[in-house]
């Protein structure tokens, strides 16, 4: 097995094509996505239609029997080599990720490192059969078998991690996989497909780019066995509806409106340093960013003042700015949506602790918005009720435990939630009462390839990652053996 340096380098500045059956595949029409830091059009990418989908699905279906017949160790070997090949191309991928997602260098580098580690660590996971009963008369075993052709539908905020985070578990468990990136961020996915074509047998990993009409072609396709979707709750409902007609299996990783509850016994100076990045990372465009911060009334003023200082220290800038911590909003549509929320500041007379409505800057390009904290708005205000998915959030006051639990749970969302206190037992007790797929004490959005993550309520169906995530890529089979007639 070669070292990372042995893998051929990929050209990251041209030739963005679909990967079907391990070959570059063009389409008659193409489209371009936009660099959100500059609003300049990026490279042309394929505009896939029904014929491209049909071809990719039939190739994936044909590749499935031989791929599933391999052992876990053999499939894990391919994933290990893929991780090496990605690593050999990491600098080109990083440049591309900064451009397509509007990521400052620290965020792009962090996403790639975690994604590569994710592929490597996922390859170490194994699903064992469950032996339920083994007597003289009979044996009952539960097995987990791959489903067939899987499709990963990916959003634009973490285009590499969320794509590879589905690819690894899908192919490790013996499925073949088609990656459908967001039309807003198709570039790294196509190049990761090109790298995969040098590693995997034909049809095991394929990538197709297109516009917003492409996802529904996969959810409707009769030969796709499983859809693993990450995106908004609104689109997730459409995906679920579409999958019903062919009874596809599906996993939905959807939106969040994560609450974080701060007790009055914390060291304020320490905690604001941690909460700041966890609330504003990637300009609020992470499903698991802290989106509602409940601070005990005894420390509220001190906490808010310190939190504002931390947020003010975050430099906003484009991919080319090495000191920037926060980049732009990723696309024009999201920019207009978040700006509409900022426009409520004046209308609703919200108190602004830092930031505020963006000032029109003539001729300045890029979807940049000022990081903004709203000081104790009403619980029924849009900034509390909606997922902003931009660099604006509320800080809210609480005094009674039962009441703050009720307020934190008073939402259709249930992705993550955290409790911060020096009294771990007390914090864990409170965390257990929160309705969310992940809860943390003295942390937020800690993730691991070994631990499943997903949402309760409208934040999702099923979980990705860890053994639970692997089983999501499998059909369960009960196997009975009668030892005596
Ligand atoms: P989106 O729902 O608009 O799009 C997600 C993907 O679905 C894209 O690839 C898009 O092309 C595709 N799509 C759109 N319509 C479709 C349809 N009818 N059928 C099939 N596919 C379709 O989401 P977005 O704006 O790209 O991402 C932001 C949202 O994603 C936020 O709500 C965020 O919280 C959520 N998100 C969730 C997680 C998680 O793991 N829970 C992670 C990241 C982002």
Distance CA 234, CA 97 (A): 26
Query: How many CB atoms within 10 Å of residue 68?
Result: 16
Distance CA 61, CA 125 (A): 24
Which residue's CA is minimally distant from atom 6 of ligand 1? 155
DSSP bridge pairs for 177: 150, 205
C-alpha of residue 234 to centroid of ligand 1, in Å: 9
C-beta of 215 in contact with ligand 1 (< 6 A) = yes
Pocket test for ligand 1, best of 111, 153, 155, 240 (most atoms within 8 A of CB): 155
Closest ligand 1 atom to 212 CA: 11
- 250 and 266 Cβ atoms separated by less than 8 Å: no
Distance CA 453, CA 449 (A): 9
Q: Output Rg (C-alpha) for the chain, integer angstroms.
A: 23
136 tagged catalytic: no
Quick one: pLDDT at residue 273?
Answer: 98
C-beta of 254 in contact with ligand 1 (< 6 A) = yes
Quick one: pLDDT at residue 364?
Answer: 80
Quick one: pLDDT at residue 361?
Answer: 62
Rounded to the nearest angstrom, the gap between the alpha carbon of residue 346 and the centroid of all alpha carbons in its chain is 33
C-alpha of residue 152 to centroid of ligand 1, in Å: 11
Quick one: pLDDT at residue 320?
Answer: 77
C-beta of 461 in contact with ligand 1 (< 6 A) = no
Pocket test for ligand 1, best of 231, 244, 412 (most atoms within 8 A of CB): 231
C-beta of 156 in contact with ligand 1 (< 6 A) = yes
Closest ligand 1 atom to 239 CA: 19
- Mean pLDDT per 10-residue section of the chain, whose length is 485 residues: 65 97 98 97 98 98 98 98 97 97 95 98 98 97 98 98 98 98 98 98 98 98 98 98 98 98 98 97 96 98 98 91 93 96 97 92 84 98 97 98 98 98 98 98 96 98 98 98 93
Which pTM does this prediction carry? Answer: 0.97
DSSP state of 360: P
Quick one: pLDDT at residue 319?
Answer: 80
Choosing from 87, 100, 111, 253, the catalytic residue is 253
Helix, strand and coil in the chain, % to nearest 5:
40, 20, 40
Distance CA 155, CA 288 (A): 14
Which residue's CA is minimally distant from atom 10 of ligand 1? 182
Distance CA 115, CA 202 (A): 23
- 364 and 358 Cβ atoms separated by less than 8 Å: no
Closest ligand 1 atom to 153 CA: 9
Which residue's CA is minimally distant from atom 43 of ligand 1? 287
Distance CA 104, CA 24 (A): 30
Task: Please choose, from the candidates 298, 307, 284, 309, the residue with its C-alpha nearest in 3D space to the C-alpha of residue 397.
Answer: 298
C-beta of 155 in contact with ligand 1 (< 6 A) = yes
Which residue's CA is minimally distant from atom 1 of ligand 1? 231
Distance CA 166, CA 161 (A): 9
Task: Please choose, from the candidates 144, 135, 212, 148, the residue with its C-alpha nearest in 3D space to the C-alpha of residue 178.
Answer: 148
**Residues whose CB falls within 8 Å of the CB of residue 456, separated by 6 or more in sequence, listed in order:** 414, 415, 435, 436, 437
C-beta of 227 in contact with ligand 1 (< 6 A) = no
Half-sphere exposure of 65 (CA within 13 A, CB side): 2
C-alpha of residue 185 to centroid of ligand 1, in Å: 12
C-beta of 230 in contact with ligand 1 (< 6 A) = yes
């Amino acid at each position: 097995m070669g070292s990372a340096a042995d893998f051929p380098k990929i050209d990251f500045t041209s030739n963005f094509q679909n990967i079907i059956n391990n070959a570059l595949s063009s389409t008659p029409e193409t489209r371009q996505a936009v660099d959100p830091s500059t609003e300049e059009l990026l490279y042309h990418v394929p505009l896939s239609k029904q014929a491209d989908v049909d071809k990719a699905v039939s190739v994936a279906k044909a590749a499935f029997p031989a791929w599933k017949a391999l052992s876990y160790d053999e499939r894990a070997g391919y994933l290990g080599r893929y991780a090496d090949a990605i690593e050999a191309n990491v600098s080109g991928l990083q440049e591309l990720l900064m451009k397509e997602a509007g990521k400052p260098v620290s965020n792009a580098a962090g996403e790639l490192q975690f994604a590569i580690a994710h592929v490597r660590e996922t390859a170490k996971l194994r699903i064992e059969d469950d032996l339920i009963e083994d007597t003289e008369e009979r044996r009952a075993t539960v097995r987990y078998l791959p489903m067939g052709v899987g499709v990963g539908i990916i959003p634009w905020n973490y285009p590499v991690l969320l794509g590879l985070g589905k690819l690894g578990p899908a192919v490790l468990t013996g499925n073949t996989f088609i990656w459908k990136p967001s039309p807003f961020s198709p570039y790294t996915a196509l190049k990761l497909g090109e790298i995969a074509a040098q590693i995997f047998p034909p049809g095991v990993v394929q990538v197709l780019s297109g516009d917003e009409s492409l996802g529904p072609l996969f959810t409707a396709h009769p030969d796709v066995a499983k859809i693993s979707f990450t995106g908004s709750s609104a689109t997730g409902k459409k995906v679920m509806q579409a999958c019903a007609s062919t009874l596809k299996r599906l996993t939905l990783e959807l939106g969040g409106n994560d609450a974080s509850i701060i007790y009055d016994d914390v060291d304020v100076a320490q905690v604001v340093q941690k909460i700041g990045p966890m609330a504003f990372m990637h300009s609020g465009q992470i499903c698991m960013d802290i989106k509602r911060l409940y601070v005990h009334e005894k420390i509220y003023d001190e906490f808010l003042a310190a939190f504002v200082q931390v947020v003010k220290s975050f430099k906003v800038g484009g991919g080319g700015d090495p000191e920037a911590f926060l980049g732009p909003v990723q696309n024009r549509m999201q920019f207009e949506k978040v700006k509409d929320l900022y426009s409520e500041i004046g209308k609703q007379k919200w108190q602004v602790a830092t930031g505020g409505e963006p000032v029109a800057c003539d001729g300045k390009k890029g979807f940049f918005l000022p990081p903004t904290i709203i000081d104790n708005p009403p619980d029924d205000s849009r900034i509390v009720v909606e997922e902003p998915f931009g660099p604006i959030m509320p800080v809210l006051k609480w005094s009674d435990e039962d009441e703050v639990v009720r307020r934190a749970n008073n939402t259709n969302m249930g992705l993550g939630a955290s409790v911060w206190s020096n009294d771990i037992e007390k914090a864990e007790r409170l965390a257990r009462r929160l309705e969310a797929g992940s809860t943390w004490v003295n942390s937020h959005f800690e993730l691991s390839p070994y631990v499943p993550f997903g949402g309760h309520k409208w934040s999702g169906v099923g979980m990705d990652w860890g053994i639970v995530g692997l089983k999501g890529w499998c059909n369960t089979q009960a196997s009975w053996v009668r030892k005596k007639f």
